[in-house]
Amino acid sequence: MRYVRFGVVAGALSAVASLLLTGCGGVIDHDDEPIPRRKQKDKGQSGKEAVQKFEVIKGGPYTGVIKGKVVWEGDPPNLEEMSNKLVAQMKANAADGPYCLSGSALEKQEQAYRIGENGNLGNVFVWIAAPQGQVFNVPESQIQMLPRTVVVSQPHCMFLPHCASLTAARYKDGVKDPKPPQKLVVQNDAEKAHNALVAGGVLNRPPNQGLSPRKPGQLPQRVDFDLQPDDDPITVRCGVHGWMLGYVRAFDHPYHAVTSVGARELYNPDLDRRVWENLSAEDFGTFEIRGVPVGAKVTLYAWHEDLGELLKEEITLAATNERVIKARRK
């Protein structure tokens, strides 16, 4: 399944940011078997890019539903110890540390393991993939229902939501639509300067983008990213604050989800009304993917940033498909 993005900043801060960016990591390594990549378009004898047509996956109507949850098994990791390390990094930043520490409790906690009161694990990517060489014939009605942007914000010194997926492309009758259905937007709601360093595989490596501080009464500065569907997870980092990290996955269809962390009103202009997480939410750790092609043979995947691949299962889609996915530390 699959989303990315300093105004006028003092010269000294720019130099520091540049040095920090040099040490930034890229996409994390994991031992998952890679998902087959789409072939790139070739250029014909005229030098123009030739339109490549793929075989459309057999199945339909596009009315099926995949739903379920990711259940945590075994003892949870030491979240307090992990969070203490995060806070220590904030305190070590003399310039911005006090402001970063003034953020919400969530912004001072580890982000990889968000386990709800119901025992489910949030921030797990779940998606389906067509067989190699085939694509989904995504109905126009499904594309029209998608929001044009997927926004990752920086309320203080943390990327929120921590995980997000987006539809970076779609196919119609086997041909790729040149217009991306969704864009990734990274915006700075904080009173401190940040930046957005986005990287994923070999397909998504846009230039680092600076984001100036938000001023009272003004809209936050934002940067739009046109992503390519990518088999690899895409990371969003801040070179000024090394602990800041988020994950995005970009797909060529809308059949993907991220297990819920109970978030609500994420795009509300009133920052105080945004609920980034609710551990007591009944839907914590659940997912639902609607409009999948009934009868199609696909591969169902689930992936977590630290645990890696939790599920890889070949299935034939029914009208309703339910799954309970188990997760635990190895």
pLDDT digits (tens, 9 = 90+) for 133-172: 999 999 999 999 999 999 999 999 999 999 999 999 999 9
SS3 letters across the chain: CCCCCCCCCCHHHHHHHHHHHHCCCCCCCCCCCCCCCCCCCCECCCCCECCCECEECCCCCEEEEEEEEEEECCCCCCHHHHHHHHHHHHHHCCCCHHHHCCCCCHHHCCCCCCECCCCEECCCEEEEECCCCEECCCCHHHHHCCCCEEEEEECCCCCECCEEEEECCCEECCEECCCCCCEEEEEECCCCCEEEEEEECCCECCCCEEECCCCCCCCCEEEEECCCCCCCCEEEECCCCCCCEEEEEEECCCCEEECCCCCECCCCCCHHHCECCCCCCCCCCEEEEEEEECCCEEEEEEEECCCEEEEEEEEECCCEEEEEEEECCC
Query: Going from the N-terminus, what domains does the chain have, and what CATH number goes with each?
Result: 11-21+57-327 (2.60.40.420)
Would the pLDDT of 271 be above 90?
Answer: no
What is the reported pTM? 0.84
> Which of the four pLDDT bands, split at 50, 70 and 90, describes residue 216?
confident
